[in-house]
Amino acid sequence: MSMEAKNIKLNYVLSENCVLTERETECISIVSLGYTNVDAAKVINISEGMFKKNIKDIFDKLYVDDRTYAVQKALRYGILTFDMIDRVQAKYNLQPRDVQRVS
């Protein structure tokens, strides 16, 4: 990817039409609670591969390339709300997890 293309991507402002599907909202909500791909996939009863595909689709829609920035950007633009996260947390009876940093 050229430097110009990277700058365009970094400076891209989300359109008002950027909407996550119900499944994508569940996935990013669970990610926001600190769950790994493996654990999150088990929670919503899908394969890890399908979970990763959902996360990749979210990354593509939000023009990001990591989980933390995806959650941050979705919250900033109102695509994800704390109420949405709370509903998913209640639906699956989830507790926030301590995030372990990988060095």
Q: What is the CATH number of the domain that holds 57?
A: 1.10.10.10
**Global confidence as pTM:** 0.81
Residue indicated by tokens 């900033």: 76
The residue ranking higher by pLDDT, 93 or 100, is: 93
Residue 70: per-residue pLDDT: 96
Q: How far is CA 17 from the centre of its chain?
A: 17
Domain span holding position 60: 19-91
98 inside domain: no
Q: How far is CA 56 from the centre of its chain?
A: 9
Residue 19: per-residue pLDDT: 87
CA dist., res. 76 & res. 97, Å (int): 22
- For the chain, the farthest-separated pair of C-alpha atoms sits apart, in whole angstroms, at 45
Q: Name the region of 81 (left: φ>0; alpha: ψ -120 to 50; beta: rest).
A: beta
Structure tokens at 57: 């689709």
Domain count for the chain, please give it: 1
pLDDT digits (tens, 9 = 90+) for 11-47: 455 655 688 999 999 999 999 999 999 999 999 999 9
26 inside domain: yes
Q: Is residue 10 predicted with pLDDT exceeding 50?
A: no
